[in-house]
Each structure stands twice: as C-alpha cells, then as structure tokens.
Structure 1
C-alpha cells in the first residue's frame, strides 16, 4: 500500500512542478544563470555555505553515487538472486520468511552469465537513466522555482521555511497556489523521509543479520522482529530531535550531509567487493569506477571542509 502511495505522490510532484509551477514562475535570467552553472565545473561561489552545499548534493539521491543501499529494494522485490535469499515481510499480514545471512550468486555457467548480464542492463538503465534523471530533476527544478520566486538574500529560518515559497507563489496565482506548494513540499518530504528511514533501517538490519548469530537467535530467525524494532526506535529518535527545538533546516542539513561520510567506506567497499569477491564473469566493467571515484573525491572535499570549519574554525571555501 505504501509503495502505491509513494508512486502516486511521486507522479503528482513531477506533474505539478513541471507543468504547473515551473511555467508560472521561471525567469529567463535564472535559467541563464543555471545554464552557466552547468558548465562551470569545479567552480564554487565565494562565501558559499558548505553545510548548505553539501546538504544539497547529499539530499539529491544521497549524493547520487551512494544509492548502493537501494539494493535492498531489488532484493525484497525478488529481482535477480533476491528471489533465493529471502526478504523482510510485512508487519501486518506477512509471514515468517527465512532470510539468508550471506549473499548468493549463481555458478558462472554460460547460461547464468547471460542472465546476469540481462539483469545488469536493467539495473544500469534504472540507475543511470531513471534514477539519475529524477534525482537531477528533484535537485534543479525546486531550486529554479525558489530562485525565481524569492529575492536574493532572503533569510530562511525556523518553521517559516516551508511557507516562503508558498506565499511567494500565491502572490502570482492566488490563494490556491499557497496550498499547492505546501502540499508539494509535504509530498516531497514524506516520500523522501519514508524511503530514507526504511533504507537506513534495512541496511543496519542487513549488517546485523549477516554478522551476528546472536542477533539472529534473539530474533528467533524472524527478521521482522529486528527490523520493526529498529524502525520504531528510529522514529522515536527522529520525533525527539524534531521537537527538541533544533532549527528544522539545521536538522535537515545535518542528515543530508551524512552521505559524504558514507563515501569514505561505502565506495571503496563496493569496488573491493566487485574486484575481490565476485567471480570475474559477474564483475562490473572498470570504466564504471569513474562515477563513484568522482563522487568519492567530491564527498571527501565536502566532508573534510565540514570537519575543518565546524571542528576547527578553518574555512576552505
């Protein structure tokens, strides 16, 4: 049910932003500035807020190169070898399912190799065309709209952040515009946070389930017991942080910058797994390393910059 809701809301967000809000708000000078920015590779505006810059990139597709944890979605849908390792069943109406603590790959026979290559083509299409395209859309379109609507130098703070763009759009189209933008914002945050909280819980569970026999015994072989316990703990923690009085934007930016820390171990780990643990017949081509390595370097710069500035007061941008 939640998956259907996510798909409906995603379609609504894309249609509303692309065909209603963007045409009514976009300014040509903003588009020109955007076009220049696309080709200004490596340029960082003087005085840029590194936390904001890192959060923007990190929030859009988890820095795009770090979406490795989405593999749990493929697994739970039964794609590829996901059909033989088990999945996390629903809390309501689900049944106990055996989940293998170790990964599996088929014997590298000619038939299996051909099948795996077909799956890899689908994954590549999904990640490089669909995922990348929509991540780029999610990052650029709202930014273009906000830049076109809000005067430069507008201070966004507190809970009023959610209302700035809504109020500006309402001045152009009328009161209904306020509620449209507000609902779009709610839809974006709901779908994103639901996905991230689920993925975070699933990946922590993956690590615990595959490395600790004690955890598997505690769960009595039922991974649902572990997953939903952790999910509840995470939700309670998140609600506590929200109501702690911290600035909403600060909370969002801190969480959005986490992927830059993830890059330090996730990207090298993925390359190691591909090179050392997979049979040669199933390894991804080495030219694909270009993308994660570029992202690794970028994330390293952002992460080091954050540590230097907020830890030692040293500003590198």
Structure 2
C-alpha cells in the first residue's frame, strides 16, 4: 500500500506506527521515562533558542529601551513559533520525512523547493554571528578583559569552537543523541545559573517589571526601529519561519514514523541508511490510537519543555541586563553586549561574578553554535541524500560520507565570513533573514499537512495560526528589506 502526497516525490509507503515503548525500548512511559527517554528534540531546539536572541538581541533591546513595548513582541513570537514547531514536527512524525525533503512534494516540485530551502538556511546562518559572539566571550574569559574593537583573537576562538562542534558530532554513535546529552548539560547549567544569579542580583520589582512587559500590549518605544524589533522577533524562541530546520531531529529520535525512516550516525556509530522517501500509516483504529499517543508526546516535548524554557531563557537575561543598566547608568551597544553584563557585575560584586557571567555567556552562545552549525550540515545532507540517486550511489547509502566532508567545508567558509562585521550586526542579519521563511513555509506546511492521513491532519484553526505566523514575521522581513534599500515601512 502507498499514500500519494504532493508532486515530484515517490508515494509514501504505508505501514503501522510503532508504539512509543517499542521505540524507546521500555515497558511503560511514566514521568521518569518521559524525561530520560522521550524528551530530546525540544532540548536541541532550546539549546539554539537560549542563545543569540536571548543573550544578545533581547538584552540589547531591553537594555536600550526597557520592557514595555518590547516584551509583548517576545511573548507573541514565542507562542507563534512553538505552535509552528509543532506543525513542522507533525509532518515528520506522520511521514518520517524531514521538512527540507517534504517541501519537494509541494508544486511545482523538488527542483525548486529543496535547493531554495537549503540556500535560505545557509544564507540566513552563514554569517556566523553566533560563533563570533561566543569567541568574544572566550577572549574575555581568558584575558579577564573585554576584547578591543577589531581584535583577531576572538575570531580565532570562534573558529576553535566550531572545531569542538565537529569533534562532538564525530565522536558520537548517534548524532542527535549526542546533541541531546550536550544540551541537557548546557541548557540545565544555563537556566540554573541564570536563575541563581537573578535571585542574587535582581530585585523583585525588576522581576515584576519584566513579567509585566511580556503581557502589556504597547506601542514600541521611541527610537527603536522595526528592523531591531524584527531581529528580536526572529530570534526569540528559535528562528521564526526557518524553525523547520531543527525539526528533523524527531526523525532521528524515532518519533512515530521517524522510527521506520532511519537516522544519521556519528563516526563511532554503526553504518545506517536513511530511507530516500517517507512512510506513513493507515487510517484504522490501531493507528489512530497510536497517533494520538505520539501527538501527545510531541505536545509535551514542545510546550512543556521548549516553550517554558524559551520564555525563561528570555526573561532571566533581560531582567539581568535591565538591572546591569540600572547599576551602571550605561546602556549596552552592539559592540559590547556579549560581555556587558559580566563587566557590570564585575565592577559591582568583584571578579567572581565577572567570571561566572562570562562562563554563562560562553555556554549560552556555544549551545547556539552547536545547534546551528550542525543543523546547516544536517539540512544539506538530508536534502542531497533525499533527492539525488546518484549521490546515494556514490556514498553507498551512508549519509556520513557527505555529512562530515561538508561540515569541514562549511567550517572553513564561516571562518572567513566572521571577519566581515561586528558579531551582533551579523546576528541581526541572520534573525531578519529567518523572518523570510515566514513568507513561504507556513503555506507549504498547510499544503503538506492537509494531505496527511486523516488522523494526523490539523484542525482548521491550526491553519489560521500558521497564517498569523506569515503576517507577524513576514511584516518584519518586508520592513527589513525596505530599510535595507532605503526607508523602513514604519518608524517609532
């Protein structure tokens, strides 16, 4: 049996969904098993999420303009992005096919959408602002002082961290699992340290100001540009319209039909093939029940872990930045925002908190670096493997033979690009380019998800929220282009 879906790609083979217990090799799923075995892709997304937006763009905007008029953009962005993530993951869980390959089923076909999607992801993140900012933090950690403008050493540290990412993936048996474990440690350490630091440093009135700012609809503050707000919206939570580039980890985790499709092994892992085309399930009582179970696990992973973590990841750094501004009487700039909080805490409380804040900043930015760098390689590997029979024959069905050489090429290219501009300027570019995805992919997703087996299809109101993603993030991208060419659409 096969299930036709879209154009220019083979029909989906139909077979039964696996049970969660079969996939995770356990007898039952309780709270302990949920944390130990089931949660995972959300942590990889959260490791990217608590990064450039949360440590750079959010604190920069709040530090310069305050919470009111900025905070609501953060909340709306996080809500829309989490919902969008669920819809992207819905397709993966129902078909075992990652989004970059699935887009090839949308008319006019893969020859347009697959190469275009790879180029959009690479173009959005190749600037490497996330890497350059991490390098600045490492420089300050090593030397005990902020790097001078234009210094070369921070860029060398950024390149060294890219090599660390390569070593983490190369030493893995299963790359997604290695990223999960790394992000358990990174995200856990980041959130606990941020929480303790905020409890120690930030008065409760500032906590309330931050929370109030999230839920208070207000006009943007005078002086802020829509381009700045667009960068903040784009990199709050994850990467707005391009979030799909991380959702392929649900396949490698084995969620739903992803268990039937395969995964990318590390160099230490067994040789593992990935199906060139997806699989799906029949519409019968058994599979309807199994689908509901998998969908509930997906919602738990995204809303219970990703959304909560993303909101904490934005609240804690922004109130810490706001307090740093209040203590110092100064405001952060694009050049010093990666180390601004550390400098102020060092002046007020001594070198211990200076180094704690620096380590925290490096961990936050490295978790982003880990996820983004690997995801660019993963998306390109999946796209090439899924659409090119000639490549599959050349690599003998082993995706690693493309994955690792391409990672080395990308490492060299990013090492050159990060010399071109200030780290925060590069991050703002990436964030606004992420909003470009919101003009395209919500509609591609509507096309695909509306053609899934009936139990997996979204409800009508889900499509309305996908259109809201298009309107919200798409506006910021159009404004970014207008600003780049001459005059922004709106000024405040």
Tell me the TM-score normalized by structure 1. 0.90
CA deviation profile, 1:122-154 (whole Å, cap 9, x unmatched):
101211221111111112211111111125762
Q: CA deviation at 1:300?
A: 0.7
**CA 1:153 to 1:296, structure 2 compared with 1: closer, same or farther past 3 Å?**
farther
Partners of 2:432 and 2:480 within 8 A in 1? no
Match of residue 298 from structure 1: 472
Deviations 1:21-73 (A, max 9, x none): 11133245544543443233363223213333222222232246753333321
User: 1:138 and 1:7 mapped to 2: Cα distance?
Assistant: 14
Distance 2:223 2:404 in 1: 43
Deviations 1:234-255 (A, max 9, x none): 222222122x241111112212
How far does residue 316 in structure 1 lie from its aligned partner after superposition? 1.2
1:220 corresponds to: 396
User: Which of 426, 440, 465 matches 1:265?
Assistant: 440
Does 1:137 find its partner at 2:312?
A: yes
Q: 1:62 aligns with which of 233, 238, 263?
A: 238
State the match for 1:274 in structure 2: 449
The equivalent position to 1:100 in structure 2, one of 266, 275, 292, is: 275
Is 1:161 aligned with 2:337? yes
1:161 aligned counterpart, secondary structure? coil
- 1:264 to 1:212, Cα distance in 2 relative to 1, 3 A: farther
- Alignment root-mean-square deviation, CA: 2.2
Which of 412, 415, 419 is the equivalent residue of 1:239?
415
Identify the match of residue 486 of structure 2 among 302, 312, 315: 312
- Runs (4+) of structure 1 exceeding 4 A deviation are 63-66
| Alignment partner of 2:260 out of 64, 84, 95 | 84
Distance in 2 separating the partners of 1:284 and 1:77: 22
Higher RCO (C-alpha 8 Å, min separation 6): 2
**Native 8 Å contact 1:89 1:95 kept in 2:** yes
Q: Which moved more, 1:142-151 or 1:214-223?
A: 214-223
Q: Which moved more, 1:65-74 or 1:257-266?
A: 65-74
What displacement does 1:188 show?
0.6
Q: 1:146 aligns with which of 298, 321, 339?
A: 321
SS at match of 2:338: helix
1:75 to 248, 251, 265: 251
Whether the aligned pair in 2 keeps the contact of 1:62 and 1:256 (CA below 8 Å) is no
CA–CA distance in 1 between the matches of 2:461 and 2:378? 29
Structure 1, 65-74 or 103-112: larger mean CA deviation: 65-74
Whole-angstrom CA distance in 2 between matches of 1:8 and 1:28? 28
Q: What residue in structure 1 maps to residue 229 of structure 2? A: 53
Q: Is the 8 A contact 2:265 2:272 kept in 1?
A: yes
Tell me whether 58-67 or 233-242 shows the greater mean CA deviation.
58-67
Are the aligned partners of 1:208 and 1:215 in contact in 2 as well (CA < 8 Å)? yes
Residues 1:205 and 2:381 are matched in the alignment? yes
CA distance in 2, matches of 1:29, 1:312: 41
* Structure 1 pair 275–291 and aligned structure 2 pair: CA distance change class (3 A): same
Structure 1 residue matching 2:417: 3-state secondary structure: helix
Does the 8 Å contact 1:66/1:267 carry over to 2?
no
Partner Cα distance (1:256, 1:236) in 2: 22
Distance in 1, matches of 2:242 and 2:312, equals 17
Structure 2: runs of 5+ lacking an equivalent: 1-177
- The equivalent residue for 2:191 is 14
- Residues in 1 aligned to 2:284 and 2:179: alpha-carbon distance in whole angstroms: 38
Deviation for aligned residue 1:194: 0.8
TM-score scaled by length of structure 2:
0.59
Moved more, 181-190 or 70-79: 70-79
